[in-house]
Amino acid sequence: MTDVEKLLAYEEIRQLASRYAVYSDARDMDALVGLYIPDVQVRRDLFGRDALREDMDRAFRGVGVTFLHVGNHVIDFVDDDHATGIVYCRGEIQDGGPDSDRWIIHAIQYHDTYERRDGHWFFVRRKHFLVYGAELGQHPLQQEPANWPSSQTGIGTHPYVLDTWKTFWGAEAQTRRDA
């Protein structure tokens, strides 16, 4: 790659991480799985974006509002079409679903594998590592281990007004917001 092509590749890969956060928070499952290669491996013998959509749908049913903030992002190129990266993320999460009163923060580190196909960069794999999870207002390093993912912690208009949010949660989304 030329220097300019490399700079463009860095930016497109950074956009993957940012879009992942935005699409996750909006529950835009189609856009979210579109960030991955079409033949993404979901489990040992399960592949494809449809399988990934089902897996992510199940995971997001256990939390309500999420707000992911992407931070540091280091990208290393393996060759012109393959790269790896580490992304820092802070998440604010309504643990237990959209009716839960429990709000937590997460410090997350993602270890990513990227691939360029047909001129565009995609996730091949995204591994989620929890640094800590803490209920808001607690010192995160003075807690017992979170045992993630089995444990998660004014109201505004966001994300309730998003069409993708309403589609994900169905009719109950507007009822819950109006309550």
Nearest partner of 66 among 108, 4, 12, judged by Cα: 108
Position 10 confidence tier, pLDDT thresholds 50, 70, 90: very high
CA 133 from chain center: how many Å? 15
Please report which confidence band the pLDDT of residue 139 belongs to, taking 50, 70 and 90 as the band edges: very low
Q: What is the pLDDT of residues 47-103, one digit of tens each?
A: 999 999 999 999 999 998 899 999 999 999 999 999 999 999 999 898 888 888 788
pLDDT of residue 148: 60
120 and 36 in contact (C-beta within 8 Å)? no
3-178 maps to CATH 1.25.40.10: no
Question: Domain extents for the chain?
Answer: 3-178
To the nearest 10°, the Cα dihedral for 56, 62, 171, 92? -90
Q: What are the Cα distances from residue 156, in Å, to 65, 103, 161?
A: 11, 15, 10
173 secondary structure, DSSP code: H
Q: Is the pLDDT of residue 38 over 60?
A: yes
What's the confidence (pLDDT) of residue 47?
Answer: 97
